[in-house]
A and B are shown apart, each in its own frame.
Chain A
Amino acid sequence: MFSKLYDFIIRKHLEILTFIFVLISLGFLSQTESNVVLKVQNAWQDISVVLKRPVVERQRKQKIIEENSQLRMNIFKLNQEVSRLQNLDSENARLRSMLAFKDTSHYELLPTLIVYKGFKNENSVITIDKGHKDGVKANDVIVDKDGLVGKIISSSASTSLANMIIEPDVRVSVRINPSRVYGILKWHHGNTFIIEDIPSTIDIKPGWSVTTSGLSEVYPPDIPVGVISEVLISENGFTHHIEGNYNVTFNNLKEVFVLKNDRK
C-alpha cells in the first residue's frame, strides 16, 4: 500500500508539486492588500535603496545640472510673476479681511527622490527615499511641479511606498475649471484619464483644466491634475464622456514632493 503510494508520489512528483504551488499562489491571490506583504516589500526597498544609491546619485547629479540651467532661465520669469502676485496677494488679503474669510490650511513640501518605479514601468507603485523618520505617513499626498501624482500607502523608516493615480482602480474627486463642475476622475491608459457621469446639459470644453475638488478626505483642493482633451457624449446620451491628459508625465518622474499638511 505504502510502496504504491511512494511509487505514485515519485512518478507524479512534478504534478503534485505544481498542484501545491498553484494552491499556495491562489491562497496568496485570495488575500487582498496583505499588510505582511507591504511590510516585506518596504523592508526590501530599504535594502535596495542602499544598493542603488551610487547609480541614483549619479543620475540625480546629471539631472540637477540640466535642471539648474533651465531653472535659472525660469527664475527671471518667475521673479516678474512673483512681484505681480505679491501685489495681488496683498489686494486679496485686504478683500478677504473685508469679507471675514480665513486661510484654513497650509502645506509644507518635502522633496523626495523616486528610488524605484515598480516592476512594470507603467506600474502605479513607486518607492521614495523618505520614510516615517522624515514624517512621511500613509495617505500623505505626493505631487510634482506639474500636479497631483498620488498618495503614500505605507512607510518604513527611510522609504515609503506610494500609489500613483494612474492605477486602474484609483478614483479622484475633481473639479473642472472654469465651470466648477465636480466629477470623479479615473485613469484610462498611458497618460490619459476619463471623467464620466457629468450631465450633457453642462457646457464643458476641451482645454479646460481639472483640479482636485477638496471633497476627498485625502486630496486637498486645487491641486492641478490635467487638461481636458476631448468631450464626447456617452452612449446613454445623457452624460458626457470626458477624456483628458494628466499634467504630470508619470513615465519620466524622478523626484516628487510629499505634501505635508501643516494645519494649525
Chain B
Amino acid sequence: MIESKQKSFWLLYLVMGLVFILSVIFNEYIDIAGVRPDILLIILIFLATREKKLIALCAAFFFGLIQDVVLPGDAEYWGLAPLLKTLLIFSFLKIIPLIGKFRGFILHLTVFSGFLVYFVFYNLFYYSGFMDPFVIFYRYALTETIYTFLIYLLLNMIFPSADQKR
C-alpha cells in the first residue's frame, strides 16, 4: 500500500517534470487560438496542496523568475510574474486551511478564482493603457483562466490529492 502510494507520488513528480519542460521549452506549441495556459501556475498549485508551504512559496517566486527569463515577454515587465505568483500562492496557502473539510468543489472553485485573479492582474498590468479593460478581460484573462483550469482539472483527475481520495 505504502509502496503504491510512493510510486504514484514519483509518477506525479515525473509528470510534473515533463509538464515543466513542456511549458518552458515547447510553450508556443500548446496554444489554442492564440490562448496559452500557464502550466507553471498549475505546478505551483499542485506543490501548494502536496508539499511544504515553504517549498511552494519559494517555487512560486523562482518559477516566476524562470518565466520572465526563459519565456521572454517584455523586459519592461521583468518581475511581474514572480510578484503575482508569490502573492497568489501565499494567499492560496492562507486560504487552504479555511477550506478545511469542504475540499473538492470548493477547492476547485478557489483555484479557478485564484487563476482568474492572477490572469486579470497580469494582463491588466501588461496591456493597461493600451486596450479596453473589458477586451483584456474576455480576450486574455478569462480564456487563459479557462484553458489553464481545464488542464489543472485533468491533471487533478489523474493525480487526486490524498484528501480528495478520502
Which residues from chain A sit less than 8 Å from chain B, CB to CB? Answer: 13-15, 17-18, 21-22, 24-34, 37-38, 40-41, 44-45, 48, 51-52, 55, 116-125, 127, 161, 167-169, 187, 189, 251
Q: Is the CB of A21 within 8 A of B57?
A: yes
Knowing A28-B79, A168-B127 are in contact, say whether A14-B57 is a contact too (CB < 8 A): yes
Known: A26-B79, A55-B26, A169-B130. A44 touches B69 (CB 8 A): yes
Which A residues are CB-close (under 8 A) to B77? 29
Q: Which of B74-94 contact A (CB under 8 A)?
A: 74-80, 82-83, 86-87, 90, 93
Q: Evaluate contact between B61 and A21: CB separation under 8 angstroms.
A: yes
Contacts of A28 in B (CB 8 A): 68, 78-79, 82
CB neighbours (8 Å) of B86 from chain A are 18, 21-22, 25
- B69 lies within 8 A of A37 (CB): yes
Contact A17 B71 (CB under 8 A): no
Other than the known A18-B90, A168-B129, what 6 A-B pairs have Cβ atoms closer than 8 Å?
Answer: A15-B90, A18-B57, A22-B86, A29-B80, A40-B69, A51-B25
With a cutoff of 8 Å between Cβ atoms, the chain A residues found around residue B60 in the complex are 21
**Chain B nearest CB, measured from A25 CB (Å):** 3
Contact (A25, B64) CB under 8 Å given A38-B75, A119-B72, A124-B74: yes
- Enumerate 6 A-B pairs (CB-CB under 8 Å) in ascending A order: A25-B61, A30-B79, A37-B69, A48-B70, A52-B25, A119-B36
Question: How long is the Cα–Cα vector from A26 to B25 in the complex, in angstroms?
Answer: 26
Residues of A within 8 A of B53 (CB): 14
Roughly how many angstroms separate A51 CA and B54 CA in the complex, as a whole number?
32
| Chain B residues whose CB sits within 8 angstroms of the CB of A123 once the complex forms | 73-74
Are B34 and A17 within 8 A (Cβ)? no
A22 near B83: Cβ-Cβ < 8 Å: yes
Q: Which residue on chain A has the smallest CB distance to residue B94?
A: A14
Question: B54, B70, B73, B140: which contacts A13 (Cβ < 8 A)?
Answer: B54
CA distance A44 to B25 in the complex (A): 10
Chain B: minimal CB distance from A258 (Å)? 18
Q: Pick the contact of A21 from B36, B75, B82, B139 — CB < 8 Å?
A: B82
Q: Which residues of A contact B83 (CB under 8 A)?
A: 21-22, 25-26, 29
- The 7 A-B pairs of least Cβ separation, nearest first, read A28-B79, A168-B130, A25-B83, A29-B79, A119-B71, A21-B61, A121-B34
Complex interface: chain B residues within 8 A of A37 (CB): 68-69, 75, 78
Flag whether B1 is at the interface (Cβ < 8 A): no
Point out residues on B near A: beta carbons under 8 Å: 25-29, 31, 34-36, 53-54, 57-58, 60-61, 64, 67-80, 82-83, 86-87, 90, 93, 127, 129-131, 135, 139-140
User: B82 and A25: CB pair below 8 A?
Assistant: yes
**Closest chain A residue to B139 by CB distance?**
A189
Q: Which residues from B are CB-within-8-Å of A127? A: 72
The docked-state distance in angstroms from the alpha carbon of A251 to that of B34 is 7
Q: Return chain A residues, CB-CB under 8 Å to B127.
A: 168
Chain B: CB-nearest residue to A13: B54
Cα A165 to Cα B19 with chains together (Å): 31
Whether A121 contacts B75 in the complex (CB less than 8 A), given A26-B83, A44-B70, comes out as no
Known contacts A25-B61, A27-B79; A122/B34 CB under 8 A: yes
Residues of B within 8 A of A168 (CB): 127, 129-131
Candidates B54, B73, B129; contact of A17 at CB < 8 Å: B54
CB distance from B143 to the nearest CB of A (A): 11
A34-B78 contact, Cβ under 8 Å, with A18-B87, A48-B70: yes
Q: Which chain B residue lies CB-closest to A161?
A: B72
CB atoms of A118 and B135 under 8 A apart: no
Rounded to whole angstroms, the CA-CA distance of A134 and B133 in the bound complex is 42
Given contacts A26-B79, A28-B82, A31-B78, contact A125 B72 (CB under 8 A): yes
Chain B's closest residue to A117 (CB) is B28
A153 to B90 alpha-carbon distance, docked (Å): 35
Q: Would you call B67 and A119 a contact (CB within 8 A)? A: yes
